[in-house]
Structure 1
Amino acid sequence: MRWFLLVAGVVILAVGCTPLDLTSGLQTPDSLVVKTRGEPVAGRYALIDVQVLDKSGNPVSGVTVELYRKIKNSYGSYYVKEDEAKTDSFGWAELSFFSPKEGKYDLYVQVKGNPFIMESFSLDFTSPEWLFVVWMCGDNNLWGYGDQDLEEMENTNKSVSVVVFYDGGGTSDGILVLDDDGNWKAIMGITGVDFNSGSYEDLEYWLKYVFENFSSTYRALIMWDHGSAWIYDSIYASSKAISFDETSESAIAVRDLRVALENVINSVPGGQTLDILGFDACLMGSLEVIYELRNTAQYIVASSFNEPADGWDYSFLGKIAPDSTPLDVSKMIVDSYREYYSSYDTYQNGLSLAVYDTSQVEKFVHDLDSFTYDLKANLNEVNSIYSDVVKSYVVGYYNKKTVLVDLGDLIDKLRTKLSTVPDPSSFVVYSYGKKGDQELSAPVSIFMPENLAIYQTYEDDYMTLSFPSDTWWDEFLEYWLSQS
């Protein structure tokens, strides 16, 4: 008898220590609880939480729930399945629904195989203030940094939607958008697809798709990759300056980027230009580049120097307010860049990021043309200061030769030597620039090679742009260098 009581006590103790599973047994789904996570925003996946309960109100696990959308046409209405998921141990399942535009959608959820257990509801999407499109060309040695930047871009800011055209190594490419929780979801891809991010035709096609289908108040395009200003643009019929795709061995020239963007602008109702065109790439803060693209965006944000491999700090996306203007956001980009690299020793080779007001570029270039005549008449003054002008880009490892110089520094050094000088701060409206210990007031580069041989090396590239045909700068360079 004592042996039997001991065994019984052990059995009772074992049962008492077993965790209670509310969803075990022969529970049958009876009802649904549907919860949404705040107001849905166009361009982000809305997340919908659904709980399955039995007649006693206990959660039921392992049950598949389905999400359907109601579509109306001239013949009536019908429903299309959008998503499905299984309930967890607490009876909850997470469903998602995406809309690129503002608008109201009639939806319902049901237990799979049992349409009598269902719940109807609606989602009313509002447009965000900002839509950021990132053309991420990581099909090269930058792909790892692209993954880091994707993490930086994750945010829950309802004022911002982000669409990333992700081109990584291999065939793991796709179109990514954020959800309500700030996590990435693919709306196309992410396996078995290889974007050609070095094709301006593909860029044009996808930008048209986005701008025709996604709603927002403001629009920004970020070109993410290697950059070389306009250098090497003449190597192929339509080739390199930005967005180098190693798989397809292609890239996008500045001229072709202009054509693609102008075609997009002209095809979109209203013909709205970009509010911000950003280059998270090296050397794109060139006067010639900005002049070429002046009619495609209100503001251009770019660096006149090589960028560190980490590129921009995208945490600014989470700080954009509902009333942030294009200039406000452009300044945020510069400030976050400066703060990110404030503890790094990156200044010796030059570090800059600037906001260029494209509405003021033509006036400045006109003033620069007048300045060019003074330069031509005062070659001795030019020669006396040239070696001290900040160099934005040089070629050669041991015997460095200058290709691009900082135009603002050139003008500053000639300010007391010539009667009139143009003011680059008229279009460089916000900036951060430093090389070594020298602060740069208006960082923007211009082609000013140190000898005729270098000029001739890059002459074909230069002539792909509008700047030399619209100004006297190339004639001045030829005259000045021929006198050396």
Structure 2
Amino acid sequence: MTNHLSRVLVCLLLLIGTSFAHAAEPMKEWNFLVFINGVNNLDSFGAQNINQMEEVGSSDKMNILVQWGSAKNPNVQRLLVKKDNDKKKVTSPVVQNLGGADMGDWKELVRFVDWANQNYPAKHYFIVVWDHGNGWHLTSVNNNGTHIQDISWDDRTGNYMTTEQLAQAMAESAKIIGHKVDIYASDACLMGMIEVASEMQDSVSYYVGSQDVEPGAGWPYNTFLTKWAAQVDSLNSAQVAALLSKDYTASYNGGINGKRPVTMSAYDLSKIGAYEAAFAQVGSDLNKLSASDIAKAKMAAGNTKFFTNWDYRDALDFLTQLEKGGITASSFAALRSAQNSFVLSNDQTQDQKTWGVSVWLPSDDSDYSQYAERYQGLRFHKNSDWGSFLKTLNKK
């Protein structure tokens, strides 16, 4: 009996000790959460990027946590990224196996954030969605037969996250962590758009995305995380967002990813209200143009720098093209000033020459009519009435 009671007491003490040890764990400064949807033809780059993360690994200041869906593995896994010296093999421990979780479901992203918050608490959150991206609207199939619809296409389930659902995921994430998501970023193509960023303005502080396509290798996680880790106590969220933007473009400007034309921008969403108001005034002024000047505006839109999709155009280049066609308004200067405040960092390789923000600018009725109804529901249109100008621009 005595031995039995002793064993019970020892077990109880161990349980109490474990409980106290867990409760006493200090909260870390940052959670870097990467939602890698490789259940498609980008799969090999997912392992490559995780190996880059393992060159740095989690620390006493930062958790690097990955939810990894792979075309080669039927089971979605959650990893706590640990430093290792093997650049070809992912060795970080699988801390949770999710079976056939749907990586195209926005609620799965929310569950990832909730799990991280419960098990690896941190003061600040940097959330990344990694996969194909296509800005605010869908394209059914590209030339290679690959589905690209909004973001995070899962080839197994056929599911993906719409722009609106991605915003829902950030809103739920903000509720979970008790404050705005410090940084949201897309390691995906064509996500540097005002329409996407606007949806998140109530739940995210800083937004990072590329106007142009991203090469398959994506971000240079090793160099970025190395620089961030070295300054983790001194960099604020705005500086981390800008660091990513600059390090990404440097990696393709003769850095570790060679030489490729790329763009990346970081936005301060606390300044988006003034930016949308400036867009509203530009749209209102353009809506008052004569029929002949509308024709000139349509030509200017067609001459504006675009990114893959004909209707994704650089916002400030549109103003430049309007001015070249003889159309001016005092609201143009206000929009340029508002964008300077809104864009925290606009980075690009030398051959790009962009201003950092794309906007929907269809100059063909078939492009406009395909998405016009959905556009009416977007936050950016509701705040700026931009869709009204687009309707005028695309009248038959």
Listed one character per residue, the Cα deviations across residues 326-381 of structure 1 (whole Å, up to 9, x for unaligned) are 1111122112211111134533xxx2100011111121101110111222234255
Alignment of 1:269-418 (within 5 A): 271-315=178-222, 316-320=224-228, 321=231, 322-343=233-254, 344-347=258-261, 351-378=262-289, 379=294, 381-394=296-309, 402-414=310-322, 417-418=328-329
Which of 61, 72, 94 lines up with 1:186 in the alignment?
Answer: 94
Report the counterpart of residue 29 of structure 1 in structure 2.
none
Q: Answer whether contact 2:63 2:120 (CA < 8 A) is retained.
A: no
Q: SS where residue 74 of structure 2 aligns?
A: coil
Alignment of 1:52-451 (within 5 A): 76-79=12-15, 104=21, 125-154=25-54, 155-156=56-57, 157-169=59-71, 170-179=73-82, 184-189=92-97, 193-232=99-138, 240-268=149-177, 271-315=178-222, 316-320=224-228, 321=231, 322-343=233-254, 344-347=258-261, 351-378=262-289, 379=294, 381-394=296-309, 402-414=310-322, 417-421=328-332, 422-423=335-336, 424-433=339-348, 437-440=351-354, 442-451=355-364
Paired with 1:152 and 1:127, the residues of 2 have a C-alpha distance of: 25
Paired with 1:72 and 1:282, the residues of 2 have a C-alpha distance of: 58
Q: Answer whether contact 1:392 1:404 (CA < 8 A) is retained.
A: yes
Q: SS where residue 338 of structure 1 aligns?
A: helix
Q: Answer whether contact 2:103 2:153 (CA < 8 A) is retained.
A: yes
Which letter maps to 2:159?
Answer: S
Which letter maps to 1:143?
Answer: D
Paired with 2:352 and 2:155, the residues of 1 have a C-alpha distance of: 36
Paired with 1:475 and 1:217, the residues of 2 have a C-alpha distance of: 42
Q: Answer whether contact 1:233 1:461 (CA < 8 A) is retained.
A: no
Q: Answer whether contact 2:363 2:393 (CA < 8 A) is retained.
A: no
Q: SS where residue 206 of structure 1 aligns?
A: helix
Q: Structure 1 length normalisation: TM-score?
A: 0.67
Paired with 2:273 and 2:308, the residues of 1 have a C-alpha distance of: 24
Alignment of 1:40-59 (within 5 A): none
Paired with 2:103 and 2:384, the residues of 1 have a C-alpha distance of: 32
Which letter maps to 1:459?
Answer: A
Pairwise CA distance, 1:205? 2.2
Listed one character per residue, the Cα deviations across residues 86-124 of structure 1 (whole Å, up to 9, x for unaligned) are xxxxxxxxxxxxx9xxx7469xxxxxxxxxxxxxxxxx7
Paired with 1:181 and 1:158, the residues of 2 have a C-alpha distance of: 16
Paired with 1:247 and 1:464, the residues of 2 have a C-alpha distance of: 29
Q: Answer whether contact 2:205 2:270 (CA < 8 A) is retained.
A: yes
Paired with 2:226 and 2:242, the residues of 1 have a C-alpha distance of: 14
Paired with 1:206 and 1:476, the residues of 2 have a C-alpha distance of: 40
Q: SS where residue 289 of structure 1 aligns?
A: helix
Paired with 2:225 and 2:9, the residues of 1 have a C-alpha distance of: 36
Pairwise CA distance, 1:412? 3.6
Alignment of 1:466-481 (within 5 A): 466-481=379-394
Q: Answer whether contact 2:31 2:126 (CA < 8 A) is retained.
A: yes
Paired with 2:388 and 2:140, the residues of 1 have a C-alpha distance of: 20
Q: Answer whether contact 1:240 1:250 (CA < 8 A) is retained.
A: no
Q: SS where residue 194 of structure 1 aligns?
A: coil
Pairwise CA distance, 1:415? 5.8
Pairwise CA distance, 1:76? 4.3
Q: Answer whether contact 1:230 1:462 (CA < 8 A) is retained.
A: no
Paired with 2:225 and 2:174, the residues of 1 have a C-alpha distance of: 24
Paired with 2:168 and 2:384, the residues of 1 have a C-alpha distance of: 21
| Bigger Cα displacement from structure 2, 255-264 vs 472-481 | 255-264
Report the counterpart of residue 144 of structure 2 in structure 1.
none
- Taking structure 1 as reference, are residues 243 and 408 closer, same or farther at Cα in structure 2, changes over 3 Å only? same
- Taking structure 1 as reference, are residues 72 and 334 closer, same or farther at Cα in structure 2, changes over 3 Å only? farther
Report the counterpart of residue 368 of structure 2 in structure 1.
455
Paired with 1:230 and 1:464, the residues of 2 have a C-alpha distance of: 12
Pairwise CA distance, 1:139? 0.5
Aligned residues: 357
Report the counterpart of residue 65 of structure 1 in structure 2.
none
Listed one character per residue, the Cα deviations across residues 5-35 of structure 1 (whole Å, up to 9, x for unaligned) are xxxxxxxxxxxxxxxxxxxxxxxxxxxxxxx
Q: Answer whether contact 2:75 2:101 (CA < 8 A) is retained.
A: no
Of structures 1 and 2, the one scoring higher in RCO (CA 8 A, sep 6+) is: 2
Paired with 2:84 and 2:140, the residues of 1 have a C-alpha distance of: 45
Q: SS where residue 308 of structure 2 aligns?
A: strand
Pairwise CA distance, 1:454? 1.2
- Which residues of structure 2 form unaligned runs of 5+? 1-7, 86-90, 142-147
- Taking structure 1 as reference, are residues 438 and 214 closer, same or farther at Cα in structure 2, changes over 3 Å only? closer
Q: Structure 2 length normalisation: TM-score?
A: 0.81
- Taking structure 1 as reference, are residues 452 and 180 closer, same or farther at Cα in structure 2, changes over 3 Å only? closer
Pairwise CA distance, 1:296? 1.8
Which letter maps to 1:325?
Answer: N
Paired with 2:287 and 2:240, the residues of 1 have a C-alpha distance of: 40
- Taking structure 1 as reference, are residues 263 and 445 closer, same or farther at Cα in structure 2, changes over 3 Å only? same
- Taking structure 1 as reference, are residues 373 and 302 closer, same or farther at Cα in structure 2, changes over 3 Å only? same
- Taking structure 1 as reference, are residues 72 and 439 closer, same or farther at Cα in structure 2, changes over 3 Å only? farther
Paired with 1:128 and 1:266, the residues of 2 have a C-alpha distance of: 19
Which letter maps to 2:288?
Answer: A
